[in-house]
Every structure is written in C-alpha cells, then in structure tokens.
Amino acid sequence: MHELAVTEAILDIVLQAAQRESARRVVSVSLVIGELSDLKQEWIQRYFDHLARGTQAEGALITVISSITQFVCNGCGAEFSQSLRKVDRVACPSCLSNTCRLIGGMDYRVENVEIEV
Ligand SMILES: [Zn+2]
C-alpha cells in the first residue's frame, strides 16, 4: 500500500518536529497534497493511528489541504498553476499555448505540526 510508506515518512517528520520542540504530544498534522495525488486522507489517518501508537504523535488528527497543479509552458517557458478540477483544457496564461508540461500536483508535504508542550 502506497499510503503506508508515505505515512511512515510523514510520521518521521512529525516526530522529529515534536522532538525539536520538546513536545509532550502532537495534536494535529496538516498536510498539503497535490490534487492529482491518489493519497486518501482516510487511509493516512488510519495508518497514522496505527504507526503512531506509543509515540508523542498518538491520537493526532490529520488534516489535508489539496493543492492545485503546476505547469510549465513548452512555448514560452512560463510557470503557472491551474486546477484540473476546474478546467478541461490547460492553456498558458501568457501565450495561450496548449502544450504544457506538468511539474507538480502529485506531491505531498507536511505543512504544519501542532504540538502541546
Ligand atoms: Zn506560454
């Protein structure tokens, strides 16, 4: 399962942050996940609950913010963001070219870790 490996990596980051701040416990973790990613919040929370047992992050709530997709235009090289949930066709805002390359939207990152000290 894809989510399991990702959740292990997330827990690592969270526990490092908790240690740095001498946290008594981790209250919540905010993740930013690209809209094209197939990571599901429900599964991340489920794996997190399991993996974090016995650590400071036990019982922390996972929240997910979806980020829109980034492109680079093959015509003029401009970088721009567009939500693929909102448009059918991607066009460069500078030169209106339709040949664009995807450069982000499948990634994830830990945005914020809320702790109690
Ligand atoms: Zn362009």
Domain regions of the chain by residue span: 2-116
Distance 104 CA to ligand 1 centre (A): 17
pTM of the model: 0.84
Q: How many percent of the chain have pLDDT more than 70?
A: 99
Q: Using alpha carbons, list the distances in angstroms from residue 15 to 45, 87, 95, 97.
A: 15, 38, 45, 45
Q: Is the predicted pLDDT of residue 6 greater than 60, yes or no?
A: yes
Distance 3 CA to ligand 1 centre (A): 35
pLDDT in tens, 21-76: 999 999 999 999 999 998 999 999 999 999 999 999 999 999 999 999 999 999 99
Query: CA geometry: angle at 114 spanning 50 and 62, to 5°?
Result: 40
Q: Is the predicted pLDDT of residue 1 greater than 60, yes or no?
A: no
Q: Name the CATH code of domain 2-116 (choices 3.30.420.10, 3.20.20.210, 3.30.2320.80, 3.30.2020.30).
A: 3.30.2320.80
CA 105 to chain centre: 9
Distance 107 CA to ligand 1 centre (A): 23
Q: Which of 116, 106, 112, 117 is nearest to 13 (CA)?
A: 112
